[in-house]
């Protein structure tokens, strides 16, 4: 038998010593000469139109080098599922409308945090408040506030899957059970909040950030700045926890935008409150399930309706529903299945990727079984 030097061996993590000794460099540990501090002005409204932004007083604060609004950008949207235009729905800075409390309205770059904070407080924004909706069931009702013009009825994506005839399956069932399951929104709460440091290196904009998706971040930073992708480089730093939450764009485009405008390095680090308020969460789900079985324990039919609250923007919501469909039937063979899933916009904070641990299917399940026979009491 071959002896391997890696496979089957107990090997230490290559970064373990640096981390336990406190020598690892996270994004907020990095410093560059002439570096500016970035801060974000966020919306106090869940749904509103931006009528006017006046940054004149903020620009007079000593040390302030730039105040940037959506009107100062190329007004190009980004999205996690960037291959489909209808899922590319978010600006780095709001251009015309606000869709959740905490959305980015303006960015400030200053020589120190005190100047940046003072400038943020002096930016004057005139809003027109709009009706908001926070429940996905209510968001589907006629007359509900329309969150995106491109998504009638507030549906980001709708899915259907059908196999066999569920009504026939329920007719053949001795037992039919109906259940409703709900899951709650949750924040990842990683130890390291979102952070990015952007700086020019010759004619290339280099962004150092804790990221789970560096090539996507590079493409979307380039897109929102109107630069060719070869002029943007993303260097992943040590990640202080992520669990899916550092897949989405957060502060990367804003730090890059500030560095692009000022020509100086800009570091942007979210506070814990900002991470909670404005970055992606886990999708809350409402799942209605109708299942049938015979007295012998044969599963006959499964009908599932799934509603996911994706919040103000699509993020990975449509992709997540695909994964939900893949696991909705569990490890069992159902002769008759009907699945219906909707990803719904609301004025809640955007929901995105969040990792979890899944239990493996029972080892008793073997390929080739047409129907899994289990006692009905096991699934009550």
Q: Are 369 and 261 in contact (CB under 8 A)?
A: no
Q: Calculate the CA dihedral of residues 216, 204, 274, 48 and round it to 10 degrees.
A: -80
Q: What is the pLDDT of residue 153?
A: 96
Q: What is the pLDDT of residue 81?
A: 85
In whole angstroms, give the CA distance from residue 197 to residue 217. Answer: 13
Please report whether residue 60 resides in a domain. no
Please report whether residue 56 resides in a domain. no
Please report whether residue 46 resides in a domain. no
Q: Are 107 and 73 in contact (CB under 8 A)?
A: no
Torsional sign, CA 380, 335, 158, 186: positive
Q: Are 190 and 245 in contact (CB under 8 A)?
A: yes
**Burial class of 364 by CB neighbour count within 10 A (0 to 12, 13 to 18, 19+):** exposed
What is the span of the domain harbouring residue 375?
153-186+281-355+368-379
Q: Which residues of 139-160 are buried (b: 16+ CB within 10 A; e: fewer)?
A: bbeeebbbbbeebeebbbbeee
In whole angstroms, give the CA distance from residue 162 to residue 377. Answer: 26
Please report whether residue 114 resides in a domain. no
Q: Are 319 and 81 in contact (CB under 8 A)?
A: yes
Please report whether residue 11 resides in a domain. no
- What phi-psi label fits residue 293: left (phi over 0), alpha (psi between -120 and 50 degrees) or beta? beta
CATH number for the domain spanning 333: value is 3.30.365.10
In whole angstroms, give the CA distance from residue 35 to residue 363. Answer: 56
Q: What is the pLDDT of residue 5?
A: 84
What domain count does the chain have? Answer: 1
Please report whether residue 351 resides in a domain. yes
Q: Are 72 and 53 in contact (CB under 8 A)?
A: no
Q: Calculate the CA dihedral of residues 20, 25, 31, 32 and round it to 10 degrees.
A: 150
Best CA proximity match to 152, nearest among 345, 347, 349, 307: 345
Please report whether residue 285 resides in a domain. yes
Q: What is the pLDDT of residue 142?
A: 96
Question: What pTM value is reported for the model?
Answer: 0.88
Q: Are 254 and 37 in contact (CB under 8 A)?
A: no
In whole angstroms, give the CA distance from residue 351 to residue 308. Answer: 9
Please report whether residue 307 resides in a domain. yes
Q: Are 247 and 82 in contact (CB under 8 A)?
A: no
Low-confidence ranges of the chain (pLDDT < 70): 1, 356-380
Task: Give helix then strand counts, H and E, for the chain.
Answer: 9, 15
Helix, coil or strand: residue 218: helix
Cβ neighbours of residue 357 closer than 8 Å, sequence gap 6 or more: none
Q: What is the pLDDT of residue 356?
A: 61
Q: What is the pLDDT of residue 88?
A: 93
């Amino acid at each position: 038998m071959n002896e391997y030097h890696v496979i089957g061996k107990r090997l230490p993590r290559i970064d373990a010593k640096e981390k336990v000794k406190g020598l690892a460099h996270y994004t907020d540990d990095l410093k560059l000469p002439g570096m500016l501090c970035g801060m974000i002005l966020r919306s106090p409204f869940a749904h509103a139109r931006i009528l006017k932004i006046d940054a004149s007083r903020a620009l007079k604060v000593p040390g302030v080098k730039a105040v940037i609004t959506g009107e100062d950008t190329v007004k190009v949207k980004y999205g996690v599922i960037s291959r489909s235009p209808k899922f590319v729905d978010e600006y780095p800075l709001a251009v015309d409308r606000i869709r959740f409390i905490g959305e980015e309205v303006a960015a400030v770059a200053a020589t120190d945090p005190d100047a940046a904070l003072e400038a943020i407080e002096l930016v004057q924004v005139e809003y027109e408040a709009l009706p908001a909706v926070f429940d996905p069931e209510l968001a589907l009702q006629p007359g509900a506030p329309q969150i995106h013009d491109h998504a009638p009825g507030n549906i980001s994506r709708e899915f259907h899957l059908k196999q066999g005839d569920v009504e026939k399956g329920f007719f053949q069932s001795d037992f039919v059970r109906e259940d409703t399951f709900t899951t709650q929104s949750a924040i990842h709460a990683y130890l390291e909040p979102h952070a990015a440091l952007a700086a020019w290196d010759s004619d290339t904009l280099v962004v150092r950030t804790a990221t789970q998706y560096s090539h996507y971040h590079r493409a979307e930073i380039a897109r929102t700045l109107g630069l060719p992708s070869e002029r943007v480089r993303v260097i992943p730093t040590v990640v202080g926890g992520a669990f899916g939450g550092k897949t989405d764009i957060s502060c990367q485009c804003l730090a890059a935008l500030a560095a692009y405008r000022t020509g100086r390095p800009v570091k942007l680090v979210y506070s814990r409150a900002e991470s909670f308020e404005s970055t992606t969460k886990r999708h809350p789900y409402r799942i209605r399930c109708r299942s049938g079985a015979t007295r012998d324990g044969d599963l006959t039919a499964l009908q599932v309706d799934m509603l996911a609250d994706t919040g103000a923007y699509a993020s990975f919501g449509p992709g997540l529903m695909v994964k939900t469909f893949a696991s909705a039937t569990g490890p069992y063979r159902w002769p008759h299945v009907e699945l219906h899933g909707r990803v719904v916009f609301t004025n809640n904070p955007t929901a995105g990727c969040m990792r979890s641990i899944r239990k493996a299917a029972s080892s008793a399940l073997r390929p080739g079984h047409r129907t899994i026979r289990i006692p009905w009491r096991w699934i009550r």
